[in-house]
Structure 1
Amino acid sequence: MPVDDDTSDAGAPADVLDAFESVPAIIWAFEGPELRVVAANTGARASAGFRPGIVGRPIREVLPELEGQQIFEMMEEAYSAGRPVSAEHRRVLVDRDGDGRLEEGFFTYTFLPTHHADGTVRGLVVHIAETTAQALRQEEAELAAAASERRYRHASEIVLELQRSLLPTGVPVLPELVTTAHYRVAGDELAAGGDWFDVLVLPDDRVALLVGDVVGHGAGAAGAMGQLRAVALDALHAGEAPAAALQRLDRFAARQRATRAASVCVAVLDPATGELEVAAHAHPPPVVVGPDGARRLAVPATTPLGTGGPAAAWVRDRVEVGETLLVYSDGLVERPGRPLGETVASLAGTAAAARRDLDDRVLDDTTLPDSGVERLATVVTERMGFLGEGYEDDVTLVIAERRTPPAPFVLDLDAEPSMLAVVRRGLAGWLAEVGAGDDDVDSLVYAAVEALSNVVRHAYAGTEGPERPVRFEAELGADGAVRLTVADAGRWRPPPPGPVVGGRGVLMMRELTDDTVIEQGPAGTTVRLRRRLGRPVTIGVPPPAPEPRPRDDKLAVDLDEVAGVATVSGPVDLTTVDQLRAQLLQGARGGTRPLRIDLDGITVLSSAGVQLFHDLAGMLPGLRLRVDPDGVAGAVVALTGLADRLG
């Protein structure tokens, strides 16, 4: 290729040519805007099947099969912009033999502009390295890695599912103690499986918080931790003293390799007095956090479970109202190269700072959970993860905070339909204050409305006089169960003769609560409902705080006459069924056109509403119902036969 400057020092022309031809790469040289070929080494000519007459011709004529493969476009970009352009591992179809047949190849391109003495672009030198072999090896490796990743993920999902099935799904909601549990899987998810925990109300109303860790990881460790948890719960449910239950756990752990050398911490707290007893086997000590700081409990060290060591010593302490107890697994504090005492002290400082920040300085506009203990658990696990690059072991954190117990919710009412709205609003607010979740609130409000609706319908039928008293009470017991009481002073009328088309109210109450008892006597009827509350356990990184569930206390019907859809929101009970009946009949034009009813926005579907939809199904053949099957309204629809009637 001709050049503009003196090349007398570049070596003999024959040597330069020999070096050019011997370069183990494809090298082309082009001149002018048409990119005419002025030089091509052996590698370049071989890649084109040694086609004759290539010098002096535009590269588009020499290699026409590259048209549309964006190679020419990259060349022209480098020439027009006067700057290098490169591309790695491009798949290109080439005519290697010059016979018109295209073969696949992978190439890495570098397009370098050459310049005249005045700085204007003269042409290009193109360096091409074929990477087909490497690309194929990489593709094979990627396919193998993908298959391995699929196997890994499948195995990981099995381990995590096994682990979740062996852990509690929730912790109790108690009047004098707010509890939560957070569990984070190690960075290597397939290694999960060693931690276990529980929060249990004992027969004497004290609360046991247990956290343990099994040696090893994976499915075997998950199975072992499930065994230890089952043994501990069985002993405590049977009424054994915590010390005796811990000794039984120690004996059981010695029986097999998988459970031997596990660690455990048991903290037993009296919510009423704050008295605390703690014992541990080879487990880091709990931390108590209060408004003025944090302290580590002085729990004596002892040998792991099942290793033949002495029984664990129990220490006593006290948790005041407003203080928070943290029981955790060693994954939260263990860091390579750092003493455990140092990292436990770091946890205490972190928890104290988090408590101070959350109490005083966090604005309302945050993605943190609403509950104080949930916020504390979230922030502590996040901040302790900063000590290293995440967590190398599973992390469990169980928190219990003493609080002043909420007062019972009591209303004295008149047995009129208007009292349903009063109870709905008041009970939902009280349940939210005590810490009940949305599902518990929905179920208890539904059950209460049903019990009160029965009072309106039956308690004072046929009686005279203005006095129609009803007392409504709600109380959270020390066992974590809400007890609702609906008491009237009337005499319920007997059911009408013939087939019973109602009677769904009691069935719904039984389905939505753990216990339903109806006591009838000469002084009136008392309905007692009981449902145990639970706070879900957080597995993994907690999601952002959900938007409050709407609890509209007014019935609304949005009718799309073109689509024939009625969207219902708010309560459907004795106070609203007449209004709803009229609007739905109007929407269906008296049965002359089909109508679909969307019930996802309803807040209550009482037996009066169920009866309305059964009546409408007989009157309007084209009626269809849509409802979320996982919601409380969906459960009522399935329970009362509406799904079969309406489709």
Structure 2
Amino acid sequence: MDADPLRSAIEQAPCILIACEGPDLRIIGLNEASRALFPGRDLLGLPLREALADLAGQQWIDLYEQVYRTGEPVAGQQWRAHLTLPDGSVRELFADFGITPWRHPDGRIRGVIGGGTDVTEIVQARLSAERHAAELQRQYRQARDVVDALQQALLPRGLPLLPGVRVAASYLLAGACAAAGGDWFDAVPRPGGAVALVVGDVVGHGVTASGVMGQLRAVLQDRLDDGDPPGAALAAADRLARRVPAARAATVCVAVLDPASGALEYCTAGHPVPLVVSAAGAARFLPASGAAPLGTGGDFPVATARLDPGDLLLLYSDGIIERPGRGAAAAAEELARVASDAVAGRALHAPEASAAERACTQTVELLVRATGHRDDITLLAAQLVAAPEPLHTEVPADLTRLGVLRKTLAAWLEALGVTGEDAFALQHAIGEIVTNAVEHAPGGESVEVRARLTDAGAVEVVVAGRGLWREPERVSERGRGLALSTQLVDELTLERSAGGTVATLRLRVTRPAALLNGAAPVPTPQPAAGLSVVDTAGGTAVLVAGPVDAGGADRLQHELLYRSRGGTVALTVDLAGVTHLASAGVAALHAVAARHRAHGTALTLLAPPGSPARHVLALVALPYA
């Protein structure tokens, strides 16, 4: 038998064991497993800090000293250590450990005993699994992002703004872990002022469903844009569904609404029936037209109805009906009640939102928060409203009065519902044209501005002046107005005659849908304040805010040249606060930049993404940061 079986057992134990004695923690014992961690080292009799100097900055020796000093044991799990090997390489170790005081019989601290278990393989296996899981999750997110981007690219970028009808939509994914599905919506302006409304649902989720959705939407959009009635448009989509297996059993509701008369034609091809809500909040479901889902056979009969002024038509996918814990009848009744409250303004407080927008967003929020939802949800609303009054104003032949025109235009565009990039483009293009007309107005005569919203969903603006103005043959400091305007709108024409010049511009305007999977509508720009130029960074930079139009361009140029000593001192110009940058302002920046180039000094223009200045500078190819 062993003379000391306990010592033999400790020596051969698979755990790590190191015993230290005295205030300098001299190592008086360590077993075989501990010696294997430090090959080539003779550790016995050495103070712990000297023996294991490579661990000094890793808290291990600090813990031994803490236990000796306080008499309180410490423990930890999966702590990492880096050990230096004889060849200079480093070994990584993970250990579960406990460090406890070693006492004399009378209770005084004699030393410290540390024990631990090497769990490196366990930790490495866990870390490898976590990395693998993270990579799989990254690949999944990447794949889903592609599908979501595909779906959003296939959905309409915006809903048309039309006289006599306000359209809104919302789209909610099935859940945070679900791929985009086959729901879609569309609103297509029709010849004569009517609008075609579509909500459809392709079976399934993922790339296939999104791709099929895009094909069906393209077919229906093309037919409805050409003026086909609902039945004929659905028949064309049905022929596609018969050829494409993944499109079979897709359900669609197509409705054509005439805002002038309130006449409605619709077809429910296997799809939930439309809901009509009056301005006062009374709701009724329209009867089904009797058609079957696409690709399943049968005709597409069309039903008719009539809406009164203020009535709202709501189309939706079955995801809002087939919610957990709700039967079809109860869910439909709840939808009608909640939508009625939203339309009448009895639900959430949102005075800035139209009734159509409230019907689409608040209805989804209020219904889904109570039950959750399993499928994608799409809502499309169209409300009959009074047609907007055209704008007719006179602008005096005074460039300092352009700010009044901008405020007038902003109020009129806001009443139409024009927001974001459309409002930006119209304000800038109209400002350039009016500036040109004012500069060429003979004898101080005013310039006439007329604007209206067309049946096709375009803002049409006519600027009439007595002067015969034209762009210079060569681009100069004041020769960029018409070129800039042409890039901002869909169409710009000039008619010159002995009586003067008439400019007509058109821009099709849209309002963003509420894509409730994260995309947010573009906020309505705030009215511009006056031009200000403020020193920052001790005079080496300036912050420009407010509108820079023809009336303020000369001031901007003067202020920048004054602060840069005529271009001899480097200057940074922050344009983040600029709300309107006309071609005259661009010309001023070009002039200042030329002075700096002549003196070999830097002029840095700062224009953050999404700012009006960034948009304009990108169009005119003026360098910015």
TM-score (norm 1): 0.79
SS at 1:239 equivalent: coil
Counterpart amino acid of 1:362? Answer: H
Hey, what's the Cα distance between the residues in 2 that align with 1:362 and 1:107?
58
Hey, what's the Cα distance between the residues in 2 that align with 1:234 and 1:286?
23
SS at 1:258 equivalent: helix
Confirm or deny: 8 A CA contact 2:197 2:256 kept in the other structure. Answer: yes
Structure 2 partner of 1:218: 206
Shift in Å, 1:287? 3.4
SS at 1:278 equivalent: strand
- Answer yes or no: is 1:271 the counterpart of 2:259: yes
Structure 1 partner of 2:234: 246
Confirm or deny: 8 A CA contact 1:599 1:625 kept in the other structure. Answer: no
- Answer yes or no: is 1:478 the counterpart of 2:455: yes
Structure 2 partner of 1:362: 349
Confirm or deny: 8 A CA contact 1:29 1:38 kept in the other structure. Answer: yes
Confirm or deny: 8 A CA contact 2:343 2:359 kept in the other structure. Answer: yes
Shift in Å, 1:483? 1.7
Confirm or deny: 8 A CA contact 1:486 1:527 kept in the other structure. Answer: yes
Change (3 A) 1:118 1:164: farther
Structure 2 partner of 1:414: 396
1:49-106 CA distance string (max 9 Å, x none): 9x9999x99988998876544345556767888877543322235799x999975433
Percentage of pairs with the same residue: 38
Shift in Å, 1:339? 3.1
Structure 1 partner of 2:150: 162
Change (3 A) 1:293 1:29: farther
Confirm or deny: 8 A CA contact 1:443 1:632 kept in the other structure. Answer: no
Structure 2 partner of 1:208: 196
Structure 2 partner of 1:199: 187
Counterpart amino acid of 2:132? Answer: A
- Answer yes or no: is 1:234 the counterpart of 2:225: no
Alignment of 1:482-501 (within 5 A): 482-488=459-465, 490=466, 492-493=467-468, 501=476
Bigger shift: residues 300-309 or 450-459: 300-309
Structure 2 partner of 1:381: 364
Hey, what's the Cα distance between the residues in 2 that align with 1:73 and 1:139?
27
Hey, what's the Cα distance between the residues in 1 that align with 2:55 and 2:544?
63
Shift in Å, 1:412? 3.2
Hey, what's the Cα distance between the residues in 2 that align with 1:317 and 1:117?
100
Shift in Å, 1:378? 3.5
Structure 2 partner of 1:537: 513
Out of 311, 314, 319, the residue aligned to residue 303 of structure 2 is 314
State the aligned residue count: 617
Structure 2 partner of 1:572: 548
Bigger shift: residues 250-259 or 541-550: 541-550
Counterpart amino acid of 2:183? Answer: D
- Answer yes or no: is 1:179 the counterpart of 2:170: no
Out of 327, 332, 351, the residue aligned to residue 315 of structure 2 is 327
Out of 558, 561, 569, the residue aligned to residue 534 of structure 2 is 558
Out of 431, 437, 441, the residue aligned to residue 419 of structure 2 is 437
Confirm or deny: 8 A CA contact 1:82 1:113 kept in the other structure. Answer: yes
Shift in Å, 1:426? 0.8
- Answer yes or no: is 1:590 the counterpart of 2:569: no
> Which stretches in structure 1 are left out of the alignment for 5+ residues?
1-13
Shift in Å, 1:586? 2.4
RMSD: 4.5
- Answer yes or no: is 1:292 the counterpart of 2:274: no
- Answer yes or no: is 1:153 the counterpart of 2:141: yes
Shift in Å, 1:240? 0.9
Hey, what's the Cα distance between the residues in 2 that align with 1:255 and 1:495?
56
Hey, what's the Cα distance between the residues in 2 that align with 1:451 and 1:99?
79
Structure 2 partner of 1:9: none
Structure 2 partner of 1:347: 335
Alignment of 1:510-521 (within 5 A): 510-521=486-497
SS at 2:271 equivalent: coil
Change (3 A) 1:540 1:86: farther
Counterpart amino acid of 2:432? Answer: E
1:359-404 CA distance string (max 9 Å, x none): 576388xxxx85664455343333433355x554333232333333
